[in-house]
Chain A
Amino acid sequence: MTTYADTLQRTWRENILFSALVELTYRCNLNCFFCYNDPQLRGVPLTTEQYVHFFEDLRELGTLNLTFSGGEPLARADFFNLGRQARELGFVVRVKSNGHALNGRLARRLREEVDPFMVEVSLHGARAETHDRQTRVSGSFDKLLTNLGEMRALGLRVKLNSPLTAWNEAEVEAMFALADGWGLPIQLDPQITPRDDGDPGPLSVAPSRAGVARLLELQRERAEARQTEKEPRSADATAEVAGSKHCGAGSATVTVDPFGNVYPCVQWRRRVGNLHEQSIQAIWRQSQELAEVRRLAAEVKQTVGQHGPLGFGFCPGLAEQETGDPAGLYPATQRLLELRRQDVVPSDGL
Chain B
Amino acid sequence: MIATDMILKRCVDTRYRNIGGEGVVVRQTAGEVLVLNEIGVRVLELLEATMPVSGLLDALDAEYEIDRPTLERDVLAYLQELVDAGVIEHAAV
Binds A, one of B18-26, B58-66, B73-81: B18-26
Q: Specify which chain A residues have a CB less than 8 angstroms from the CB of B90 in the assembled complex.
A: none
Q: From residue A85, how far is it (CB to closest CB) to chain B in Å?
A: 14
Assess the B17–A64 pair: CB atoms within 8 A.
yes
CB pair B32–A62 under 8 Å, yes or no, is no
Chain B residues in 8 Å Cβ range of A29: none
Nearest-neighbor residue (CB-CB) of A61 within chain B: B17
Contact across chains for B31 and A62 when beta carbons are under 8 A apart: no
Give min CB distance, A133 to chain B, whole Å: 33
**Most chain B C-beta atoms within 10 Å of own C-beta, residue among A10, A90, A234, A235:** A235
Asked if A64 meets B26 with Cβ closer than 8 Å, knowing A232-B32, A234-B31, the reply is yes
Interface of A is mostly: loop
B37, CB-defined interface residue at 8 Å: yes
Q: Name the prevailing secondary structure of the B interface residues.
A: strand
Whether B33 lies near A62 (C-beta < 8 A) is no
Would you list which residues of chain A between 62 and 111 have a CB under 8 Å from chain B? Answer: 62-64, 90-92
Chain A's nearest CB lies how many Å from the CB of B3? 28
Q: Say if the beta carbon of B4 comes within 8 Å of chain A.
A: no
Q: Is the CB of A7 within 8 A of B32?
A: no
CA distance A3 to B31 in the complex (A): 16
Total interface residues in chain B, CB < 8 Å: 16
Residue B46 is within 8 A (CB to CB) of chain A in the complex: no
Residues in chain B near residue A195, CB distance under 8 A: none
Q: How far is the CB of B26 from chain A (nearest CB, A)?
A: 5
A54 sits at the interface (CB 8 A): no
Answer whether residue A6 sits at the interface, using C-beta atoms and an 8 A cutoff: yes
What is the CB-to-nearest-CB distance from A15 to chain B, in angstroms, rounded to a whole number?
A: 11
Q: Are B31 and A64 in contact (CB under 8 A)?
A: no
Q: State A233–B30 Cα separation when bound (angstroms).
A: 10
Any chain B CB within 8 A of the CB of A306? no
Indicate which residue in A3, A11, A235, A237 contacts B19 across the interface (CB closer than 8 Å).
A11
**Is A221 interfacial (CB 8 A cutoff)?**
no
Q: In the complex the two chains form, what is the Cα distance from A4 to B22 in whole Å?
A: 10
**CB atoms of B35 and A64 under 8 A apart:** no
The answer to whether A92 and B26 have CB atoms under 8 Å apart is yes
Q: Which of B20, B22, B28, B37 contacts A92 (CB 8 A)?
A: B28
Q: What is the distance, in angstroms, from A260's C-beta to the closest C-beta of chain B? A: 24
Cβ of B68 < 8 Å from any Cβ of A?
A: no
- Answer whether residue A2 sits at the interface, using C-beta atoms and an 8 A cutoff: yes
Interface assignment of A117: CB less than 8 Å from any CB of chain B = yes
| Residues of chain A having any CB pair with chain B under 8 Å | 2-4, 6-7, 10-11, 14, 16, 18, 62-64, 90-92, 115, 117, 157, 232-237
